[in-house]
Structure 1
Amino acid sequence: MSASLLHGFPTHGTPGRGSGIQIFAPAGHSNVDFSPLRHHPRDAAVLDAVSMADLLRNAFVYPPHSIYRDVKFAISGFDGEQDLHGDPRFHFRFQSSRALRPRLDAVDGGVMLRTYHALLVDAVARSSAPMRTPWLLQSGGKDSTSMAIAVAQARPETTCMTYLGGREENEIDSARFVAHQLGLRHEVLVCDPGRAYQRYLALVPRMPLLTADFAMLSYVDMATEIAANGGDGLLDALGSDNYFGMPINWRQRLKALLALRLRLPPGIVDSYLVSHNFRLSYVLGTLQMDTFERCFPGSRFSDAEVDTLLGYPVAESSRRRLLLFRDDIAAASSMEAQRRVAATIVEAATFGKGIFTASALSLLLAYPYRDEQLCEWTFREVPDALLIGPGGVNKVLVRQHIAQHFQQLPYVRNKGSFRFDLCGLARQCFDQVHAMAIQAQPLLPGAAFWLESHRSRLGNKYHASKFYILAIMLPWLLSRLDRPASPWAPRDRGDVL
């Protein structure tokens, strides 16, 4: 793995706290040097309580923090020269209000498409150059289809892999058709929750940092399969939403209206009628969330549950980490613009899952859509009407690029929320996760009780999502302890707040 693309270097931390480590991973680069963590202490004292609350509340750690007290990890929005331990500053580059794009009638549509295609081909070629046997993670959706077109020209020896996580996201027909038409080899991996989890457990000791992204297990499952079949690099079609735009539909507007930060009585949330109904559980969960944090994907633990899991009030300290981003959130002139800010913040998880997995497997990893030339050209030179079209049609330019090669593709029309069999994971791995919760009681004193009291509800994806977060967190935390954890709390109240 190339260590020259990124650097991890020691810096001086906040006065009075000694030295710290900060690792920058600009989104255009993906192969990160985590060597500064190689000899990091394995002790409960170095773990950050607020970051644990972040993971439980939102499934990722708010950047630039990490699961460690003395390690900062930043992707987009943070200047690589700043001291992340001191006074970190976040800036979102892709605010639409700052872009002076041309009008649609001022550009040549044919030239625009040719330029987009050429830039994407160049991005694929540059980012995959160190790879001998690249594999494309091909979901079957628009982004991966457009990238497959570029891959067929730049790296025609690439193999495509599509993951079938569940019936809601079955785009295998589309992905297979695209790959075969382009002359690319295509493979399918069907989700087996138990297999994926055992593969994750095998990688945990080598995973440099922790995130609980809801695609983590599917990513580990695919990457392990690819490495076993001789692949040495992954091409991931993630990362274009921030500068292409993220249209808002009525469901997202409704969720924003329902996010009222209420603290609901446990009797309502835990009633049989609610606890076994996904939609009711999701609505009540949303009522307890912050409006902006509801932009983040998935079902997560409420603040009250987080405080119970950790054994003392800490959820509010996690929520306060949003203050770092308040200026950029306030500068977003619409809900759509706010969603792009949220997507940038959550890159700590969305890119982190790939970066940490690739590091653990010694695989190369590339995100061609985050190529700097492609990003800047799309954001500044493509008219608004080719980014988001009438009626909120997203990625109009990408759709036109695909239409040049394919007339009609069998896309999934109604996207689901899950690319992994969450309920199957809970069914197959409950006892294993529960045993880890018993071991981790000094760190998460409420985890074992939560699992026991919710076992009968894990057929509901809302609760299975929370089980998933614990299943990701517990083994990683335990792997960082050289000895059994002793009763543990923050060093002082100031560390938490």
Structure 2
Amino acid sequence: MASRDDIVKCQPSGLGLLGGRGDFAHIETIGAGAQPTYLYTSPYAGDADFSPLETRRAESGPIDHVSLADLLRNAFVYPPHTIYRDVKNLATGFALQQDMGNELRFHFAYQSASAASRPASNAVSDEALLHTYHQLLTRAVQQCTADIKAPWLLQSGGKDSTSLAIAIADVRPDTTCVTYLGGKEENEVESARFVARRLGLRHEGLVCDPARAYDRYLAMAPRMPLLTADFATLSYADLATEIGHRQGDGIIDALGVDPYFGVPLHLKDHLLRVLARSARIPGALLKHPLVGRSFKLCFALGTLQMTAFERYFPGSRFSDGEVDDMFGWNISTHSRKRMEAFHGDIEAAQSAEAVRRMVLVVLEAAGMAKGMYTAKAAGLRLAYPYCDKQFCEWIFNGVPDDRLIGPGGLNKVLMRRYIAQHFQQLPYVQSKGSFRFDVQGLARQRFEQVHAFAVQLRGLLPGAPKWLEDHRHCLGNKFFASKFCLLAVTLPWLSSRLGNATSMVESHA
């Protein structure tokens, strides 16, 4: 372990395009300030190692202001950056260019245009494809859960978790399925319960209680190695704590396969891309009674203030103007510049769908990071069977185009046919919903607590208390409550590192 005055520099050999860690052939300790700490967190390369950050529990490194702006603007820190100025995150697609002074470069090679070797539609039968799909997926489940004694599957009831449950029933029938009911919009709980019981798996449900979930997050925040503010972070903290209480020792998460199957865009996606104009809209307009009560109108005006690339990111987040007001200077420009890391791949993309694949990779810093950080804090193992490299490579190269994306933008055709072997009809065909979080309920129950955190950290975010005070009457609207949730997740993590010692943060002003 590095000492207080040292950091660990890892120089892996054979770093592939997946952003994996390769072979840790050379690990040396060097003087502080000479090089950053590199973390290798691609879920396609195995378990992330956060041990170089252990010493930061006792002494925080400098908090990066631009990374904090990233969190407020997009709910995650743009990779390869982290909330710490001197810690870099080599997520999927990033590699160290050692011949260029360890410059970090992004390139995600798994675009349809590069899959020239895919078989023709009539060259392979569904029977053969489905057999291989099951064989590779069950193998992936076995391998990634080998050291988990009592696994719990996060089962939304959708396609990904249903397909995974089928494979799990064959090789890990001791798995418990758990579905999180977060709000009235959800309709997949029935599907999840039906699937689990038909497969002979135990099923449990957990109904969101915002206060309970927030208490559980506050308890684990000091142990979370890094910070993300994905909108399901509180759901994950609630579930991880519950799993631990029920003697589970590991989580199986059904994320990771979308970039390889592909992500067709629909009319709504195209309309939102057109609507995203990087405009500046006065905050007073959004608070006007005729506007502020309408989630859809607020969402549209919020979209106008985003870039097309950032509109692909889920949820309602703070606008550039709001973030600048919180910091007291024009920091949003610096956050936007971090998109330049992906500019080369964006320019080379041959379709909007290709850009969206890239977005899904970037979003590992939100969706997958919340699981990695939460599981670490809860002392649980974390398994991503869909991130098995052999399985992903086969999906991308060995499955015909029409079994990936079908006519009319039907996604995951082969997965749907795999499910249909066991279940003819499922309720999940309606709309997505499970694992949401009741952000309005959180705002009602924990406003004063979050405001107290904002006051404590006003040396870092001087405008945060005022934003909360000015928008308290708007928090019944999910648009504003989602922004409240970003502060509710971000501020206590920072407080656990900094307390009142905001002089430790690095200033970019």
Measured against the shorter chain, the TM-score band is over 0.9
Q: What residue number does 1:27 align with?
A: 43
Q: 1:287 to 1:11 in 2, by over 3 A?
A: farther
Cα deviation 1:240-287 (Å, max 9, x = unaligned): 111111111111111000000001123322211111110010000000
Question: Any conservation in 1 of the 2:62–2:505 contact (CA below 8 Å)?
Answer: no
**Cα distance in structure 2, aligned partners of 1:491 and 1:438:** 19
Question: Is 1:192–2:212 an aligned residue pair?
Answer: no
Pick the aligned partner of 1:103 from 120, 124, 149: 120
**Cα distance in structure 1, aligned partners of 2:97 and 2:150:** 34
Question: Any conservation in 2 of the 1:29–1:366 contact (CA below 8 Å)?
Answer: no
Q: What residue number does 1:135 align with?
A: 152
Question: Is 1:331–2:342 an aligned residue pair?
Answer: no
**Cα distance in structure 1, aligned partners of 2:267 and 2:30:** 47
Q: What residue number does 1:91 align with?
A: 107
Q: What residue number does 1:411 align with?
A: 428
SS in 1 for 2:382: strand
SS in 2 for 1:187: strand
Cα deviation 1:375-403 (Å, max 9, x = unaligned): 00000010110111111111000000000
Q: What residue number does 1:304 align with?
A: 321
Q: 1:60 to 1:157 in 2, by over 3 A?
A: same
**Cα distance in structure 2, aligned partners of 1:319 and 1:444:** 19
Question: Any conservation in 2 of the 1:168–1:418 contact (CA below 8 Å)?
Answer: no
5+ residue gaps, structure 1, are none
**How far did residue 50 of structure 1 move?**
0.3
Q: 1:159 to 1:427 in 2, by over 3 A?
A: same
Q: What residue number does 2:187 align with?
A: 170
Letter in 1 for 2:392: C
**Cα distance in structure 2, aligned partners of 1:489 and 1:351:** 26
Cα deviation 1:452-471 (Å, max 9, x = unaligned): 11011001000011000000
Question: Any conservation in 1 of the 2:42–2:48 contact (CA below 8 Å)?
Answer: no
Greater shift, 168-177 or 456-465, is seen at 168-177
**Cα distance in structure 2, aligned partners of 1:220 and 1:193:** 11
**Cα distance in structure 2, aligned partners of 1:21 and 1:467:** 31
Q: 1:105 to 1:194 in 2, by over 3 A?
A: same
Pick the aligned partner of 2:249 from 232, 237, 250: 232
**Cα distance in structure 2, aligned partners of 1:157 and 1:268:** 54
Matches within 5 A, 1:253-332: 253-332=270-349
Pick the aligned partner of 2:72 from 56, 70, 75: 56
Letter in 2 for 1:69: R
Cα deviation 1:316-335 (Å, max 9, x = unaligned): 10000000111111121111
Question: Any conservation in 1 of the 2:189–2:434 contact (CA below 8 Å)?
Answer: no
**Cα distance in structure 1, aligned partners of 2:125 and 2:308:** 40
**Cα distance in structure 1, aligned partners of 2:101 and 2:153:** 36
**Cα distance in structure 2, aligned partners of 1:154 and 1:31:** 21
Relative to the length of structure 1, the TM-score reads 0.94
SS in 2 for 1:351: helix
SS in 2 for 1:89: strand
SS in 2 for 1:28: helix
**Cα distance in structure 1, aligned partners of 2:386 and 2:100:** 26
Q: What residue number does 2:15 align with?
A: none
**How far did residue 29 of structure 1 move?**
4.3
Greater shift, 97-106 or 430-439, is seen at 97-106
Q: 1:235 to 1:488 in 2, by over 3 A?
A: closer
Q: 1:44 to 1:131 in 2, by over 3 A?
A: closer
5+ residue gaps, structure 2, are 1-19
**How far did residue 28 of structure 1 move?**
2.1
Cα deviation 1:465-495 (Å, max 9, x = unaligned): 10000000000001102x51346874455xx
Q: What residue number does 2:224 align with?
A: 207
Question: Any conservation in 1 of the 2:375–2:381 contact (CA below 8 Å)?
Answer: yes
Question: Is 1:485–2:501 an aligned residue pair?
Answer: yes
Question: Any conservation in 1 of the 2:404–2:413 contact (CA below 8 Å)?
Answer: yes
Pick the aligned partner of 1:355 from 349, 362, 372: 372
Q: 1:453 to 1:488 in 2, by over 3 A?
A: farther
Q: 1:439 to 1:44 in 2, by over 3 A?
A: farther
Question: Any conservation in 2 of the 1:261–1:290 contact (CA below 8 Å)?
Answer: yes
Cα deviation 1:390-442 (Å, max 9, x = unaligned): 11111000000000011111115123597111101111111110111110100
Question: Any conservation in 1 of the 2:324–2:330 contact (CA below 8 Å)?
Answer: yes
Letter in 1 for 2:320: D
Q: 1:45 to 1:33 in 2, by over 3 A?
A: closer
Relative to the length of structure 2, the TM-score reads 0.91
Q: 1:256 to 1:428 in 2, by over 3 A?
A: same
**Cα distance in structure 1, aligned partners of 2:413 and 2:371:** 27
**Cα distance in structure 2, aligned partners of 1:489 and 1:229:** 39
Q: What residue number does 2:401 align with?
A: 384
SS in 2 for 1:38: helix
Q: What residue number does 1:400 align with?
A: 417
Query: What root-mean-square deviation, in Å, do the aligned CA atoms of Structure 1 and Structure 2 show?
Result: 2.2
**Cα distance in structure 1, aligned partners of 2:508 and 2:194:** 58
**Cα distance in structure 2, aligned partners of 1:384 and 1:11:** 48
SS in 1 for 2:308: coil
**Cα distance in structure 2, aligned partners of 1:204 and 1:93:** 35
**Cα distance in structure 2, aligned partners of 1:465 and 1:62:** 19
Letter in 2 for 1:472: V
**Cα distance in structure 1, aligned partners of 2:59 and 2:320:** 26
SS in 2 for 1:73: strand
**Cα distance in structure 2, aligned partners of 1:83 and 1:352:** 29
Greater shift, 432-441 or 44-53, is seen at 44-53
Cα deviation 1:65-116 (Å, max 9, x = unaligned): 0000111122211236759994210111211111121111111110011000
SS in 2 for 1:166: coil
Letter in 1 for 2:240: A
**Cα distance in structure 2, aligned partners of 1:418 and 1:26:** 23
SS in 2 for 1:411: helix
Identity percentage of aligned residues: 56
Greater shift, 148-157 or 410-419, is seen at 410-419
Question: Is 1:426–2:443 an aligned residue pair?
Answer: yes
Matches within 5 A, 1:65-76: 65-76=81-92
SS in 1 for 2:436: coil
Q: 1:181 to 1:462 in 2, by over 3 A?
A: same
**How far did residue 18 of structure 1 move?**
2.6
**Cα distance in structure 2, aligned partners of 1:271 and 1:488:** 38
Question: Any conservation in 2 of the 1:9–1:23 contact (CA below 8 Å)?
Answer: no
Matched pairs, number: 486
Q: What residue number does 2:17 align with?
A: none
**How far did residue 362 of structure 1 move?**
1.2
